[in-house]
Every structure is written in structure tokens, then in C-alpha cells.
Amino acid sequence: MLLLLLLLIVPAEIHNAPSKSFDLNQIWSLFKNEFQKIYNSEREERYRLNIFAQNLATINYHNDRAEKGLETFTMGINKFTDMSFNEFSLKYLGTRFRSSWFLGAPITHVADPSENLPKFLDWRESGIVGSIKNQGACGSCWSFSTASSLESALAQATGNKTTLSEQNLMDCSWAEGNLGCNGGWMSDAYRTVMRLGGINTAADYPYTARDSLVCKYQPTKAAVSLKNYASVDGLENMKSAVAQKNVAVAMEVDNKFQHYKSGVFSSNGCKNTARSLNHAVNLVGYGKVSESGKNSTRDEPSEIDYWILRNSWSTSWGEDGYARIQMGQCGIEMVGFYPIIKLHF
């Protein structure tokens, strides 16, 4: 609620309105308190305030367009608003491009043309998607995406939610080419689980958001193991896979996504190329909305098809940690994976 109120009082052209500096300082103070921001020096704080003001101008300009029906999503103040996109990218994005990303994937998911898929699907309603997590200032999104897909597969098989260890993947996946906080790839993380024989729970192997070269995996405490994993690409194949599973996917994040708050995200700034994929998330459902933003109950020419995206930037970002993203945007269907598990009892 605080952040919504803040947006309402921020002037639309704050960087061109010195008479409004009191408003900016007031909002800045509230922002620092809300997100417990502490800076090392006055010089750093001035630097952060300047970035904050620029980002607020971007947010307000975009939201003015959204109010006029020219955008399908809104932006908002969040913990990243005092960060440039370059800094944000270095700290929070972390997939590593591979020219042969499907290499070694034992199974390729292909949609069955006879499938009758539901118009709306949300795996959160089935109770198989775990709580939103926070990766912190560490490019470990690949481990969160992998762990989330494993958690959902385990919940589907057993009916129970289990929180698995991202740190287990980070510490033990160097041999497969993953680089901890400096990025990784989901299929390589699956191969780590297969090599180790399982993955521990977060309680047994807590997250630290730091790199370690020491793998502390405990085989006797494996929560789940992998039989295999599958790759999936393309919109129709991805929709078929998401209708069955929580799918770990790569996407391209741009500066608009950094400030995303609600609605169906789209961006003409995304390059939609393999090399531009820089973040790992999960697809946990899909749906349609009309251009007004309301869920469509019938086929309409103006419908927007979207994915329900699970992120790992805490519940303070987006729609309580989730986003809706328009299908076909930002490379979201370019590459995905899901696990085929075996249980430990």
C-alpha cells in the first residue's frame, strides 16, 4: 500500500521540476525506510538518489501511458529502484548462454496435436508451487528455477510440499559448468542432481547467497532424485508442457522488467535472441486477458495470451513475486526444462 501511495504523489516530470524536490526527498526517505537501505557515504547516497529520480521518471511516464491504455502493465517502486539497469543485471541476472543448450537433454517434449488444453491454468491453485523465495544479490536464478521445478514435481508425486536447496546446486554444480553467483544453466543443474544421486532440503543445506567450492551434499538426506529431464521449446510445445508441469525456462530481462509491478508484461526492448537470455524463472500457468486487463471468458480478437511466471526476487517485486508475461515476448518460449523424478522414502 505504501508503494502505491508513493507512486500517486510522485510528479510525472520530477527531474525537470526542482520546485518538487521536497516531494522527492520525502519519497526517498520513505523508500529507504521501506527497503532498509543504508549507504556507505553521503556521496553514494547522492548517487543513488539520482538513479532513483531517473527511475521514478521512467516509472511515472510508463504508468501515464498505461492509464491511457497504451501499455498492458504497470511499473512500481521496488527494492531495485535505486539501481541502474547495468548494476541490477550484474547482481540479479545469471543464466549463461550455451550454443548447444539442448545437448545431452535425454527427452524432448513435443505437443500432441490431439491435446485439449484448458484455456486457463494456474498450478498455484493446485498447491504444488512453493512459496516465493529471494535469491539476493547473487546471479543464482538458475538454481532457484531448477529447485522450483523439482519441488513442484515432488509435490505432484507425493501431495506434500518440500523446500529444496538452491545452495546444494550452487556448491556442487561446478563440474557441470555452472558458476554459482556468476550464473548457470538449468539442464546442467539437473545433471548435477543425477550425478550426486539427489538433492537435499533447504533445511539440511541452507541458502547463503555466496559461492563455495565445497559441496556439502548429504546422500543419506536426499529428498528426491532424478530419473531424467526433458527439454522443451516453442510456444505450442511449451504450453503443452506447462499444462503438465512447472517448467524451468530462460528469458530476457530488460529495464522495464526491473520495475514491473502488475498486469501483462511486454517489451519492444527485448532482442528475442538466444544470446540475450539472461534470467531463469518458472512457468506455472497461463491464461488470456482482454486489452482492458480483465480475464477473457470467450475468444475475442483483442485477447492477450500470457504466461504466469514465478520469479525469485521476493514478494516485494511484481504481483507478490509473480508476473504475467505476454506469450512470444522476451524469448520466454525459447528454451525450457522439466524434471522426471524418482522418490526417496
Q: Do both 178 and 202 map to the same domain?
A: yes
Q: Do both 195 and 266 map to the same domain?
A: yes
Strand 260-265 to 322-326 pairing: parallel
- Note if 279 is an active site residue: yes
Which of 82, 99, 120 is the last residue in one of the domains? 82
> Which position among 138, 141, 172, 270 bears the catalytic label?
141
Q: Do both 38 and 151 map to the same domain?
A: no
pLDDT for the residue numbered 281: 98
Q: Do both 174 and 54 map to the same domain?
A: no
CATH number of the domain enclosing 59: 1.10.287
- Per residue in 108-161, pLDDT (tens digit) is 999 999 899 999 999 999 999 999 999 999 999 999 999 999 999 999 999 999
pLDDT for the residue numbered 290: 83
Q: Do both 171 and 245 map to the same domain?
A: yes
The parts of the chain modelled with pLDDT lower than 70 are 1-22, 97-104, 291-301, 344-345
**Which residue range(s) make up the domain with 16?**
2-82
Contacts by 81-90 with C-beta closer than 8 Å and gap 24+?
Answer: 81/31, 81/52, 81/55, 81/56, 81/259, 82/31, 82/37, 82/48, 82/49, 82/51, 82/52, 82/55, 83/51, 83/258, 84/51, 85/254, 85/255, 85/258, 88/255, 88/258, 89/253, 89/278, 90/139
Domains identified in the chain, total number: 2
pLDDT for the residue numbered 15: 33
CATH number of the domain enclosing 187: 3.90.70.10
Q: Do both 115 and 194 map to the same domain?
A: yes
Q: Do both 146 and 14 map to the same domain?
A: no
pLDDT for the residue numbered 98: 63
Q: Do both 11 and 156 map to the same domain?
A: no
pLDDT for the residue numbered 99: 57
Closest listed residue to residue 178, CA positions, set 189, 167, 164: 189
- Note if 78 is an active site residue: no
Strand 224-232 to 107-108 pairing: parallel
Which of 82, 115, 147 is the last residue in one of the domains? 82
Q: Do both 283 and 198 map to the same domain?
A: yes
> Which position among 259, 279, 282, 330 bears the catalytic label?
279
pLDDT for the residue numbered 293: 55
Closest listed residue to residue 48, CA positions, set 33, 28, 65: 28
Q: What is the 3-state secondary structure (H, E, C) of 81-149?
A: CCCCHHHHHHHHCCECCCCCCCCCCCEECCCCCCCCCCCCEEHHHHCCCCCCCECCCCECHHHHHHHHH
> Which position among 55, 78, 311, 330 bears the catalytic label?
311
- Note if 141 is an active site residue: yes
